[in-house]
Every structure is written in C-alpha cells, then in structure tokens.
A and B are shown apart, each in its own frame.
Chain A
C-alpha cells in the first residue's frame, strides 16, 4: 500500500492520516496539517483495493481506533478520530 507523503518544516512526529477521498473532514485535516507545516503521510482508503482496505482496518483497530475517517495516528500511539483541531494541536504540540 502506498502512502502519499507530504513534506514540510516540522518533522518531530510521525503523522499518518487515514482518509476518504470524498470526505470533507478528511480534507480539512490534511489542510490543517499543511497550514501548520507538519510533515505527514496519508492514504485515501476508499481508493484502495480490498486487500489494502483490510490492512488499514487491522492497523486502525489494533491501535484501538474505530473504523471511521479521518483517523489520524501520531507516533504510532495516539489515535484521533475525526477532524479535531484541539486534539491534533495537543498531540502535535502546536
């Protein structure tokens, strides 16, 4: 599965966004990270094949997330469900 990588100034956290290409809140999450110059990787789950979708579900549920989008995973441990500026700011220390 290929993640799209967005490079920016701030690299001190590993940020992965599981998104849907049709979802407004997913777009806003990416936009928020862009505006705050955070480097991140993302994947639009609805555009993946079945096998990769399954891998995404396993990754999200194994970290205790629910199968909703966007799901942002920070440093492989903090799981943020939905577009939550407050939670993102706290986890990313911005």
Chain B
C-alpha cells in the first residue's frame, strides 16, 4: 500500500523541482492524490487519475504521473491535463484552464488494442458528431511493439532510453527538436 502522504510529498517535491505548483484548490488536490494512490496500488505505478490505463506498463508509460505531456501542457495552458500541476500564474489566479488531451490517438489506440481513428483529434467539447470514427476490435492480434531507443539532448547531453524523446528536456528545457537518436550497433562475433 502506498501512503497518501507519500504521494503528496512526491508530487510536492516534483512540483518544486520543476518550478510548478500543485493545484490551488485543496479538495481537488486531495482527489488527485487519492486517485494516484488508488492507481499505484492497482497497477503498481501512479497512472494519471484522469486517464484510462491499459494495465500494461509499456503502453501506459507516457501517462504515468508526471506524464510525458505535463511539461508542454503547463507551458501552453498553464496546467497539466488533470490540472494537478499548474504554473505560478494559474496558482495565484485560482482559475484553472481547460486543457485538451495531448496524448496522440495512436498511443491510445495501441494501449487499448483498437484501430486508430483517422480523423483529427477533437479539441474540447463536440456538439455535433462528425463522421463516426471506426472502433474496430483488433484486441489481441497484431499488437505493435514498443521500440525503445537511446536519445540525447544536443544542448545538455541528457540521455534517455525511451520510445520517443521528451517534449521538453527535463534538465535544460530544450525542445524535442534538440534531441537526436544515438545509433548503437552491437556485433556478435565468434
């Protein structure tokens, strides 16, 4: 069992490291932390409480809190998708912005074993449904693998072994474009 206090301290420490704040509304904050705790007990990792897990670590990797989308979301909207992490301006104003889902549809489709919808991701509320997106069940067949690669930040040298490079370098805040793949070759002789 994960202690709620432990989840809170971890979030507070992470916010401090990155210069963020935790949501200014105490009841919301309590709800986020409880959700994280439930998910950690349930899946073994603190999955985003606002998103649906696949239960498979490799497919859920990008939505483990703090998720891959937090930094670009805070930079663009002032808050992460859940609005657990916010910037100073949002913290002080207490006005939480609407934050659309940044997670690419392909990642959702892969995690849930469905065909990726072909339309553009809907932004915010939709009142009139467009052409219905296909949701063909391809559950257990042809699940694409997660191919991890080594990436390095050309600005500060930070190295990460992940499927994709981060949106923002956690060390020097360089953008994703500053990351390059490290090509490694292993030869077996004899």
Interface residues of A (CB under 8 A from B): 20-25, 27, 45-46, 50, 53-54, 57-58, 61-69, 77-82, 84, 87, 91
Interface residues of B (CB under 8 A from A): 28, 31-32, 34-36, 38-39, 49-53, 82, 98, 101, 108, 112, 114, 117, 121-122, 124-135, 137, 139
Q: Which residues of A contact B36 (CB under 8 A)?
A: 22
A22 vs B39: C-alpha distance in the bound complex, in angstroms?
8
Residue of A nearest to B111 (CB): A67
Q: Which residues of B contact A82 (CB under 8 A)?
A: 98, 124-125
Q: Which of B52, B98, B125 contacts A67 (CB 8 A)?
A: B52
Known: A23-B35, A24-B31, A80-B125. A64 touches B52 (CB 8 A): no
A68 and B132 within 8 A (CB): no
Q: Which residues of B contact A45 (CB under 8 A)?
A: 52
A80 vs B52: C-alpha distance in the bound complex, in angstroms?
17
Q: Which residues of B contact A67 (CB under 8 A)?
A: 52, 108, 112
A23 and B49 within 8 A (CB): yes
Q: Pick from A20, A22, A63, A78 the residue with the most CB of B within 10 Å.
A: A22
Q: Which residues of A contact B131 (CB under 8 A)?
A: 64
A81 vs B100: C-alpha distance in the bound complex, in angstroms?
9
Q: Which residues of A contact B127 (CB under 8 A)?
A: 78-79, 87, 91
Residue of B nearest to A45 (CB): B52
A20 and B133 within 8 A (CB): no
Question: 13 A-B contacts, Cβ less than 8 Å apart?
Answer: A22-B35, A24-B32, A24-B82, A25-B50, A54-B139, A61-B117, A64-B122, A65-B122, A66-B126, A67-B52, A68-B101, A77-B129, A81-B125
Q: Which residues of A contact B52 (CB under 8 A)?
A: 20, 45-46, 53, 67, 69
Q: Which of A20, A69, A81 contacts B126 (CB 8 A)?
A: A81
Residue of A nearest to B117 (CB): A61
Q: Which residues of A contact B31 (CB under 8 A)?
A: 24, 27
Q: Which residues of B contact A80 (CB under 8 A)?
A: 125
Q: Which residues of A contact B124 (CB under 8 A)?
A: 81-82, 84
Known: A22-B49, A81-B126, A87-B125. A64 touches B39 (CB 8 A): no
A82 vs B124: C-alpha distance in the bound complex, in angstroms?
8
B112 and A84 within 8 A (CB): no
Residue of A nearest to B28 (CB): A24
Q: Which residues of A contact B114 (CB under 8 A)?
A: 54, 57
Residue of A nearest to B112 (CB): A57
Known: A24-B35, A53-B112, A82-B98. A63 touches B129 (CB 8 A): yes
